[in-house]
Amino acid sequence: MPDSGYPWPIETTRLDNGLRVVVSEDRTAPAVAVNLWYDVGSRHEPTGQTGFAHLFEHLMFEGSLNVAKTEHMRLIQGCGGSLNATTNPDRTNYFETVPAEHLELAFWLEADRMGGLVPALTQETLDNQRDVVKNERRQRYENVPYGDAWLRLLPLLYPPGHPYHHATIGSMADLNAADLATFQAFHTTYYAPNNAVLTVVGDASAAEVFALADKYFGAIPAREEIPAAPDGRTVPATGRAAVETVTTDVPAPRVYVAHRTHPFGTPGYDVATVLAAVLGSGRGSRLYQRLADGERIAQPDLVGAYGVDLAHAPAPLIATATARTGVGAERLAAGVAEVVDELATVPVTHAELDRAKALLSTAWWRQMSTVDGRADTLGRYATQFGDPAKAAERLPAWLAVTADQIAEQAAELLGADDRVTLTYLPEETP
């Protein structure tokens, strides 16, 4: 397995209006992935406008100046392609994978909704998609067991006013209160060519992509001033644990233990990524071995740990476990905390480290094995770090992490005095 994290060519250009274009040619199959990253996520949302970036993830499929409602999806799927969009605190991205001969169609569609959504946005469309988001909140967060854990963890991890304090789903009150003009202004402000990265990976040359990008996106005017998100890089340690207990309709006690680490893309977060794999990835992890297989207090398929890859503040590392029948929440929480604490005192073995790095390598190459996975990765590094080629640094950085670095980070950042613990308790039944 090669150590280089990206062994394919990368070529870049910037149009006169500021749009950055990234191309990685790969003639293996006659397909291309088009991925458009906008540097706008929930961390950019001003007070009173939470949930706007996520709502636009929906609105951008509801028609633009020359594309009718739902036609974007119909045209891409009709030519054998696939498409979707996602929003997180750091960004919004729109993407499609199509047969190579339909690259121009994908560019036309993306350019039309970048430059032509506002004239086509109507009150009816806005109201309809607000209702869609409300239903999504109910289905994903409010009406499923443990579904609101992320909504609860963020305010415990980040203080009021911090750009990561609220989740991308936002406040329904904010979405209901805003009028059509406010939403139009939000799009005009952030969905501009000089706030975006267009990435194409697959069966197309750089010259072809650059020419098509200029043809379809070149006439869209740049936005002169794009407001920066609030600076969230510093989160003062409180020196005291944050604890929340929720009694609700859940089938068993569940515990989340969370800590702030380092921003994604930094050496410190590379250590946190390997640490999380040692702690909670799969059956060989410390949490599984201790709580599911050893003490048998956690359900085997509901125990683990992971980092949340946020790039503009100390990113969370979260460990979680769900109790077996008859096991109380206090015992479960104590077990999770004990395993986390031992990362600082019980050295990580060579076998644990090798296993964690093997899992991360497999996940990385799985992402890199598809044109759409590579397009998303290059778009991320171009947007967040200014250079898509920096993607090649990630895997070697993970492979270089040592057991001593894991112990040092655990001692520095995973202590009980700055820990977040969220516990779910089942409601008592008559």
pTM comes to 0.95
CB 182 within 8 A of CB 49: yes
Q: Which residues contact 218 (CB under 8 A, 6 or more apart)?
A: 15, 16, 17, 19
Phi, psi of 40 (to 5 degrees): -150, 125
pLDDT in tens, the chain (430 residues): 345 678 999 999 999 999 999 999 999 999 999 999 999 999 999 889 999 999 999 999 999 999 999 999 999 999 999 999 999 999 999 999 999 999 999 999 999 999 999 999 999 999 999 999 999 999 999 999 999 999 999 999 999 999 999 999 998 899 999 899 999 999 999 999 999 999 999 999 999 999 999 999 999 999 999 999 999 999 987 888 999 999 999 999 999 999 999 999 999 999 999 999 999 999 999 999 999 999 999 999 999 999 999 999 999 999 999 999 999 999 999 999 999 999 999 999 999 999 999 999 999 999 999 999 999 999 999 999 999 999 999 999 999 999 999 999 999 999 999 999 999 999 986 5
DSSP state of 213: H
Question: What Å distances lie between residue 68 and 55, 61, 186, 266, CA to CA?
Answer: 18, 9, 21, 43
* Structural tokens at position 356: 């964690």
What is the pairing mode between strands 20-25 and 196-202?
Answer: parallel
* Structural tokens at position 120: 């086509």
- Local structure of 83: helix, strand or coil: strand
* Structural tokens at position 395: 């895997």
